[in-house]
Amino acid sequence: MTKLYRIGLVRGLIWQAVGTAVGFGLFTALRAVLGLAFKAEPAWVFGMMFGAIAFLVGLGAFTDWFRWAKGEATPEPEEVQDPPGALRFFGISFDHKVIGIQYVANSLLLLVVGGLFALIFRVELARAGMQFLSFLWFNTFIGLHGIVLIGSMLLGGAAIGNYTVPLLIGARDMAFPRLNAFAFWLSVPAVVLILLSMPLGGFETGWTGYPPLSARGPMGIQAFFAGVWILGWSSVLGGLNLIATILRMRAPGMKMFRMPILAWAVLATSIITLTATQLIGMSFQLVMFERLLGMPFFEPARGGNPILFQHLFWFYSHPAVYVFVLPGFGVISELLPVFARKPLFGYKWIALSSLGIAIVGFLVWAHHMFTAGMEEYLRVPFMYSTLLVAVPTGVKVFSWTATLWAGRLRFATPMLFVTGALVIFLTGGLTGPPLGVVASDLQLHDTYFVVGHFHSTMFGGYVFPFFAALYYWFPKATGRKMNEGLGKLHFWLMFPSFLVMSLGQMWVGLHGMRRRIADYDPALGIETAQLVVTIAGFLIALSILVYLYNLVTSLRRGEVAVGNVWGSRSPEWQIPSPAPAHNYPAPLQVVGEPYDYGLEGSRYVEIGSGKAVPQAGD
């Protein structure tokens, strides 16, 4: 028993459970002392926040700060030794590579959970008529599918950033290792709260949580709001850390335009997460106050306006989609040269296009509100800005195509996923303008066409590149390769199934299928297509099972791969695998350009002076 309690994660969860009960009780007792009747909802909200903080205390996330408050000294993050073996992943570690893998684990967990929610409601939708779900539970599952997968994508992007950036720029770790650990561990109690929405009664609004519907109705919405609020902090703090690291900790000689392109992508992503995330937290917080304290921010009868919520919400939630895809774009840019054996076409333009997308992405939010009833004249400028995003995005797509063109392509699993990502993102991206043009959006808004569009852009910009990254950097993290045959099976199951699912979603949307409906009129003639979409979803789930099986078996029995398995010029592949603690034995010397494949005799980095092969015990 005590052995389990020594594990940080276990301790944290126990403290969260106890803390929630204590918070609930404290609040109720306080009300009783003041002579007020018992109210479940505010007691739960107070309890949940108290419990989340208790998680962090129990885990030990505040221990160093408590010590400093008492005037005690603590070891530097570099001096702290992680416990050996797998135990290090279940408690606080300051090593960015461990934290990166923790993010991967949480992200994959959410991918599976969120995907399961989808499988459930897709079974319901496969035939017309209500088969086994109630309205409440259908609505809750679609909302949870949305937010859980959004969480998965945020954590996956953080995984990519945290694991790779110090390696890419030649740093020993991130700028703020303690903050890095803290930002990761925020995500665990947040996920617990989001899932707590189910026993607390579910919620009916979908992940967008619009009032007035979210200001009334089942209490599960409070758990959803609280969980997202906390998860947002993980994004903000992680972004801050990455920006500081990229700007200040690059190896000597690694000017901004000489660093690996993935670092540019992560930089652009972090600018967004640092500055925009607060808006979703705030919009949810205002609804929580409306429910708990009767503050009528969004209630017209008492002077409020529901459209205000939508502006605040989408001001983050649109840039958020660029947070999801920019790291994936960076992975595509990073991997294509390695597998095409050709320089990245137009490195500078690609680097700047990431920043361009991030900036323009802040100017387009109200394209989610074309029918919402905001001032009519606002629709036109938002249409212009929305279509403008296509320009830097197009630069990327054209550049990637030009990188492939005339190369010497090798199709290992990571390359399959990156190429597939390109094709899928192209499809999703091209279905953007019909939604961005107001006139056509009047027909398409709130239909399954939108669902097809964003699944396509998310799979192309995040899911496929994320898997590419997992296959690509697995040897770096473990010293083994994943099984190529299973990897190819994963791809060839997922890619066509996804295309069928996405095009099917668009098709039913064009034929009258609205969003967020538990049932549809069989007279629309879409029942067969709905069944096909459901089956495709199950095949995607199967492909992910193949991946997870591959992951587990490769960890134990994968082919040993301690060298530069992909023939990459990138710094992290010039050291042995698994990458040693603190990465490089000596500072990197930048002696060339990152992507000069095909230039005879050129190198990108040298590992300092002295020994080339780091000795054991580094």
Partner 1 sequence: MSGSPDDLEKMSIPATPPQSLRKVLIASANPLFARGLQKMVAEHWGRRGAEIRLADSMEQAIEALNTWKPDLVIVDYDDVGRPGAIQRETFLSHFIAGERPMQVMLVSLRASGEVVVYDRRTLTPDQAEDWFDLPWTVQSEISEQTQPPRRNRMRHFVIVGLLTAVLTALVYFLLTTARLYPVAASVQAGPIDAMINLQVGLISFLFALIVSFISYSVIFFRQKPGEKGDGPFVTGSTRLEVLWTLFPLVLVIYLSFAGAQALAEVRQPEAQVLQVKVTAFQWSWLFEYPEYGIQSNTLYMPVDRQAHITLTSRDVIHSFWVPEFRVKQDALPGANLVKEVRITPTIIGDYKVRCAEMCGGAHAYMESPVKVVSQADFDAWVQAEMNAANASPEQRGERWATTNCTSCHALDGSRLVGPSWKGVYGSQITLADGSTVTVDDAYLLESILDPNAKIHQGFPPNVMPANYDATLTEQQINDIIAFIKTIK
* Alpha carbons 75 and 65: distance in angstroms, whole number: 12
* Alpha carbons 256 and 585: distance in angstroms, whole number: 23
> Could you give the 3-state DSSP secondary structure of residue 560?
strand
Residue 610 CB burial class (10 angstroms; 0-12, 13-18, ≥19): exposed
Q: Does 507 bind partner 1 (CB under 8 A)?
A: yes
The tokens for 4 are 């389990």
Of 402 and 486, nearer to partner 1 (C-beta) is 402
Helical spans, DSSP H, in 34-82 = 40-59, 63-69
In single-letter form, the type of residue at position 519 comes to D
Question: Which residues from 466-495 bind partner 1, rule CB under 8 A?
Answer: none
Of 55 and 264, nearer to partner 1 (C-beta) is 264
Helical spans, DSSP H, in 482-526 = 484-510
* Alpha carbons 305 and 607: distance in angstroms, whole number: 60
CB of 613 to partner 1, least distance (A): 7
CB of 213 to partner 1, least distance (A): 4
Count of Cβ atoms closer than 10 Å to residue 123 Cβ: 15
Of 60 and 578, nearer to partner 1 (C-beta) is 578
Q: Does 349 bind partner 1 (CB under 8 A)?
A: yes
CB of 523 to partner 1, least distance (A): 9
Question: Tokens 């929305």 map to which residue?
Answer: 386
The residues with which 589 forms a beta bridge, in sequence order, are 606
CB of 414 to partner 1, least distance (A): 15
* Alpha carbons 58 and 107: distance in angstroms, whole number: 22
Of 293 and 613, nearer to partner 1 (C-beta) is 613
- Do residues 617 and 585 make contact, with C-beta atoms less than 8 angstroms apart? no
Stretch that binds partner 1, among 247-255, 458-466, 491-499, 605-613 (CB under 8 A): 605-613
Nearest CA to 321 out of 113, 498, 461 is that of 461
Question: Which of 342, 367, 368, 480 is the binder for partner 1 (CB under 8 A)?
Answer: 342
Q: Does 443 bind partner 1 (CB under 8 A)?
A: yes
Residue 389 CB burial class (10 angstroms; 0-12, 13-18, ≥19): buried
Q: Does 172 bind partner 1 (CB under 8 A)?
A: no
CB of 464 to partner 1, least distance (A): 14
Question: Which of 442, 545, 552, 562 is the binder for partner 1 (CB under 8 A)?
Answer: 442
Judged by CB under 8 A, the number of residues near partner 1 is: 100
Q: Rounded to the nearest 5°, which phi and psi values hold at 560?
A: -65, 135
* Alpha carbons 604 and 613: distance in angstroms, whole number: 17
Question: Which of 285, 511, 542, 565 is the binder for partner 1 (CB under 8 A)?
Answer: 511
CB of 207 to partner 1, least distance (A): 10
CB of 325 to partner 1, least distance (A): 17
Nearest CA to 268 out of 313, 314, 344, 329 is that of 329
Question: Which residues from 573-602 bind partner 1, rule CB under 8 A?
Answer: 593, 595-601
* Alpha carbons 381 and 334: distance in angstroms, whole number: 34
Of 23 and 206, nearer to partner 1 (C-beta) is 206
Of 83 and 496, nearer to partner 1 (C-beta) is 496
In single-letter form, the type of residue at position 547 comes to Y
Question: Which of 144, 230, 518, 551 is the binder for partner 1 (CB under 8 A)?
Answer: 518
Give whole-number Cα distances, 280 to 230, 305, 311, 485, 609, in Å. 11, 17, 10, 42, 49
- Do residues 115 and 541 make contact, with C-beta atoms less than 8 angstroms apart? yes
- Do residues 93 and 105 make contact, with C-beta atoms less than 8 angstroms apart? no
Stretch that binds partner 1, among 229-237, 458-466, 481-489, 515-523 (CB under 8 A): 515-523
Question: Which residues from 269-308 bind partner 1, rule CB under 8 A?
Answer: 300-301, 305-307
Question: Which of 373, 485, 496, 522 is the binder for partner 1 (CB under 8 A)?
Answer: 373
CB of 439 to partner 1, least distance (A): 4
How many Cα neighbours within 13 Å face the side chain of 391? Answer: 11
Question: Which of 121, 316, 520, 573 is the binder for partner 1 (CB under 8 A)?
Answer: 520
The tokens for 487 are 């990897």
Of 503 and 531, nearer to partner 1 (C-beta) is 503
Q: Does 2 bind partner 1 (CB under 8 A)?
A: no
The sign of the torsion formed by the CA atoms of 60, 48, 297, 202 equals positive
Question: Which residues from 378-437 bind partner 1, rule CB under 8 A?
Answer: 379-380, 383-384, 387-388, 390-391, 394-395, 397-399, 401-402, 404-411, 419, 422-423, 426-427, 430-431, 433-434, 437
Q: Does 516 bind partner 1 (CB under 8 A)?
A: yes
CB of 602 to partner 1, least distance (A): 9
How many Cα neighbours within 13 Å face the side chain of 548? Answer: 13
Question: Which of 291, 318, 445, 476 is the binder for partner 1 (CB under 8 A)?
Answer: 445
Of 151 and 306, nearer to partner 1 (C-beta) is 306
Build a one-symbol-per-residue string for 184-213: x at contacts with partner 1 by CB under 8 A, - elsewhere.
--------------------xxx-x-xxxx
Question: Which of 67, 248, 341, 557 is the binder for partner 1 (CB under 8 A)?
Answer: 341
CB of 20 to partner 1, least distance (A): 26
CB of 425 to partner 1, least distance (A): 10
Of 11 and 453, nearer to partner 1 (C-beta) is 453
Count of Cβ atoms closer than 10 Å to residue 345 Cβ: 21
The helix (run of H) or strand (run of E) holding residue 607 is strand 605-607
Q: Does 122 bind partner 1 (CB under 8 A)?
A: no
